[in-house]
Homo-oligomer: A and B are copies of this chain.
Amino acid sequence: MVTPSVPELKPSSRLLLGPGPSMVHPRVLRAMSTPLLGHLDPEFLVIMNEVQAMLRAVFQTENAFTIAISGTGSAGMEAALVNVVEPGDTVVVGVNGVFGTRLADIVGRCGGNLVKLEAPWGQVFPPERIEEALKKEGKVKAVAVVHAETSTGAQQPLDGLGKLCHDRGALLVVDAVTSLGGLPVEVDRQEIDVCYSGTQKCLSCPPGLAPLTLSPRALEVVKARKHKVQSWYLDLSMIADYWAEGKRAYHHTAPISMVYALRESLRIVLEEGLAARFARHRRHSAALMAGLGELGCTPNAAEGHRLPSLNCVKTPPGVEEAPIRKALLTGADIEIGGGLGPLVGKVWRIGLMGESARQEHVLAVLAALEQALAGAGRSVKPGEALAAAAATYAA
């Protein structure tokens, strides 16, 4: 065997405006590189308490069970479902994009009885459709929806869903991967029972942890399970004993450096304040969308249901989108996302999440897109997109 020769790590310096990861604040990188404590060190246990307290603030909940799962957002999704769903349980899933599709897939792997509600990619589910499904199905264990569909840019309304579910004995499971920290996720007020997210989106932390919170009602369901959870790694009854103050029973080694990073990113979120942070996301999204409109792009998500954190737009008619994205990456060091599934080749997904949601980034991507479109032979008036963004900022 030949020993591979691998050079020093020297990646390009990218502006991350794709569907995630988002830009990371230097303070978070610095905290992450702090020499490690052991995962059972009394000082680390204090750090875990602090992270839990800050996660509760960001989730807007008093839930005691509020932790970070040792995996990326998808591990959070899996933890949410495998702990709640037992074989034969009926689960209603809203499928209007990649992440709803994934929820449905996991329900199947749990042996659940999947009731799939479908909507075109970019549309959302009115509460009436969910109510109708609940009425029709009778005994439903849980309803699962995606608050912020990263694949389509659509924002699912949550108000009232919790009550609908609880009136019929079902739990409400919400995917907040692309919303937590960027737009309101009000776990207690909205009566959400299980809510998970990822660190690499609006929290502006590197990927590797999945914030997760369970209501007391959800916790009761987990405790009353008849079957062992199919995942040992994500078995919340055991993980709870590690995170529970006073117990701290060893389950698995926590990803210490990632916890340091999450702690610092949450400090930054709370220093800014949730209301100011949400307003900032809305402001920059509006400016970006105005500029994109000048470039011939149109929103993919339904009017009134557009995510500020993930701006998904149909590409200008007649433009081949992949070469434009490639020109942005190689020419301007800017990453934006393309489409997934039925949207391949049809949309751009421009993330303005956390540290990425800044005026200079909005202007940078609009200027680079304008130049790349001109370079591809499209007639664009120089500066019009920037002017539209500036006008929106001034308004």
B35 engages A29 (CB within 8 Å): yes
Q: Describe A's contact surface by its main secondary structure.
A: loop
Determine whether A39 belongs to the interface, using a CB cutoff of 8 Å to chain B.
yes
Scan residues 1-24 of chain A and give those whose CB is less than 8 A from a CB of chain B: 1, 3-4, 6, 9, 11-14, 16, 18, 20-21, 24
User: Provided the pairs A232-B74, A252-B73 are in contact, do residues A16 and B38 lie with their beta carbons within 8 angstroms?
Assistant: yes
**Given A21-B39, A108-B228, A53:B6 Cβ within 8 A:** yes
User: Complex: how many Å from CA A198 to CA B335?
Assistant: 31
> Do A253 and B109 have beta carbons less than 8 Å apart?
no
CB distance from A280 to the nearest CB of B (A): 17
Query: Would you give the shortest CB distance from A242 to chain B, in whole angstroms?
Result: 12
Known: A253-B20, A257-B208. A232 touches B35 (CB 8 A): no
In the complex, A16→B256 CA distance in Å?
A: 13
Residue numbers in B under 8 Å from A102 (CB-CB): 232
Q: Which of B9, B38, B70, B329 contacts A208 (CB 8 A)?
A: B70
| Interface-lining segment among A259-267, A302-310, A376-384 | A259-267
Beta-carbon contact of B207 and A105 below 8 Å: no
CB distance from A211 to the nearest CB of B (A): 14
- Cβ-based interface call for A71 (8 A): yes
Q: Judge whether A6 and B50 touch: CB under 8 Å.
A: yes
Question: Using Cβ atoms and an 8 Å threshold, which residues of chain B touch A50?
Answer: 4, 6
A229 within 8 Å of B (CB atoms) = yes
A residues 244-295 near B (Cβ < 8 Å) are 250-258, 260-261, 263-264, 266-267, 270, 273
Rounded to whole Å, the gap between the CB of A104 and the closest CB of chain B is 11
Minimum CB distance partner of A108 in chain B: B228
